[in-house]
Amino acid sequence: MGQISPKLLRFDRFVLDLTRGSLRVGDQEIALRPKAFDVLRHLADNAGRLVSKKELFEAVWPNVAVTDDSLVQCIRELRDKLGDTKHQLIRTVPRRGYLLNASATDPTGEPAYAARAERHEIAKLGSNEADRAPQQPRRSRPLAWAIPVAVACCALVGAPLAAHWLSLSSASDLFTEHDVQRIAAIAHEKELPLPRFQVSRIKHDVLPEHRRFVGIWVSSTGFINSNRQFMLVITNAERSGILTGFTVRGPPQALSLIQRPAGLSHFKARVLGDSFRYSGPESEREVVMNSAQRLEFSEAFASGAMARVVLDPIWTMVDAERKAALEASRR
């Protein structure tokens, strides 16, 4: 395949490189998270026009339920990186949306919207190329509220059966031996290496909207397109809304965006409404609880590629507490 010539979009003193997915001012490259870049690209595509929040959500988070805070965090990051302290470049129109107060042109001098369709096709092509040969992603800046993630990946492909079984310090009154064996059997069937963890009662002052995330969630068919199996183990929620837990991936498949062996990594995140987000070493992760109490996990890579998987609950703290309360009332 021949090389794709760079597609540039200029506004104010900045240049958006749509091929490389980067923002520059002069010779300096400004690092942006993938979603923040997508918000800026859409605003620049429509420079001088009021862009509604609904339009931005549809353009940047298609078919994903996210809160207003996701957009606010992106706008805050963009203003910080653009030096827009007085909110003159990216203007907020209360209760309506945002406006990029600049004229955007492509390298030919044409208005941005004249080349938008062509750039869209280039972006789609670039995303397909990323699926076949993932590029080295750039390190993105975590969200302002995000807690640094400590990654501890374990290469467990080919490990004996015992390596896949859950190793707890002890079972608890809520997370029973029966639960241990059932979840270990599911993990073994899906070739998911489980971490050592303990699930205990969480404090009563933790809000229901926070404690509902504590549990073990697993995919049925795996990531969309690649079918790589995935599990979330969320072991604790704090009064502040902080969650702690593990992401667990099975062996990579032919179309997996991450081709490392099966393994796990630790994470911390803060609940925001029906979702939480955190940064990984190669991507930004977002987890949304839908109306059916399933978790929709999405992963955005610097190349623009996306990975998605839906997870079903196989054990939750809320159900365990309800069951324990019912049994106590019968005694």
Span between the terminal Cα atoms of the chain, in Å: 72
Q: Is residue 3 part of a domain?
A: no
- Asked if residue 164 lies in contact with residue 186, where contact means CB atoms within 8 angstroms, the answer is no
Identify which has the larger pLDDT, 313 or 69: 313
Q: What is the pLDDT of residue 244?
A: 92
By C-alpha distance, which of 292, 305, 123 is closest to 226? 305
Mean pLDDT of 84-95: 89
Q: Indicate whether 196 and 312 sit together in one domain.
A: yes
DSSP-based three-state secondary structure for 281: coil
Q: Identity (one letter) of the amino acid at 282? A: E
| Number of CB atoms found within 10 A of residue 249's CB | 24
Task: Say if residue 129's pLDDT is above 70.
Answer: no
Q: Indicate whether 250 and 194 sit together in one domain.
A: yes
Q: What is the pLDDT of residue 218?
A: 96
Work out the percent of the chain whose per-residue pLDDT is above 70. 77
Q: Indicate whether 116 and 178 sit together in one domain.
A: no
Distances (CA, A) of 324 to 197, 202, 320: 21, 14, 6
Distances (CA, A) of 282 to 79, 227, 260, 305: 24, 20, 12, 11
Range list of β-strands (E), the chain: 8-11, 14-17, 22-25, 28-30, 51-52, 90-93, 97-100, 215-219, 230-237, 242-249, 263-272, 275-279, 283-289, 295-301, 306-316
Q: Indicate whether 44 and 113 sit together in one domain.
A: yes
Work out the percent of the chain whose per-residue pLDDT is above 90. 33
Length of the chain: 331
- Asked if residue 130 lies in contact with residue 304, where contact means CB atoms within 8 angstroms, the answer is yes
Q: Residue 199 belongs to a domain with what CATH number? A: 2.40.128
Task: Say if residue 287's pLDDT is above 90.
Answer: yes
Q: Indicate whether 127 and 167 sit together in one domain.
A: no
Q: Is residue 148 part of a domain?
A: no
Identify which has the larger pLDDT, 127 or 278: 278
Q: Is residue 125 part of a domain?
A: yes
By C-alpha distance, which of 197, 264, 204 is closest to 237? 204
Q: What is the pLDDT of residue 9?
A: 81
Q: Indicate whether 184 and 326 sit together in one domain.
A: yes
Task: Say if residue 85's pLDDT is above 70.
Answer: yes
Mean pLDDT of 254-259: 87
**Binning pLDDT at 50, 70 and 90, where does residue 6 land?**
very low
Mean pLDDT of 293-308: 91
Q: What is the pLDDT of residue 55?
A: 92
Per-residue pLDDT tens over the stretch 15-65? 888 777 788 888 788 888 888 888 998 998 888 889 999 899 888 888 777
Task: Say if residue 228's pLDDT is above 90.
Answer: yes
Q: Across 186-200, 219-233, 250-264, which has the greatest mean pLDDT?
A: 219-233
Residue with structure tokens 């996306």? 306
Rg (CA), the chain: 22
**Binning pLDDT at 50, 70 and 90, where does residue 13 land?**
confident
Report how far residue 296's alpha carbon sits from residue 274's, in angstroms, rounded to the nearest whole number.
11
- Asked if residue 238 lies in contact with residue 211, where contact means CB atoms within 8 angstroms, the answer is no
Q: Is residue 246 part of a domain?
A: yes
Q: Indicate whether 96 and 172 sit together in one domain.
A: no
| Number of CB atoms found within 10 A of residue 51's CB | 20
Report how far residue 23's alpha carbon sits from residue 27's, in angstroms, rounded to the nearest whole number.
10
Task: Say if residue 313's pLDDT is above 60.
Answer: yes
Q: Count of domains in the chain? A: 2
Report how far residue 104's alpha carbon sits from residue 7's, in angstroms, rounded to the nearest whole number.
13
Identify which has the larger pLDDT, 32 or 165: 32
Q: Indicate whether 194 and 114 sit together in one domain.
A: no
Q: Is residue 145 part of a domain?
A: no
**Binning pLDDT at 50, 70 and 90, where does residue 249 land?**
very high
Q: Residue 46 belongs to a domain with what CATH number? A: 1.10.10.10
Q: Which domain holds residue 226?
A: 161-330
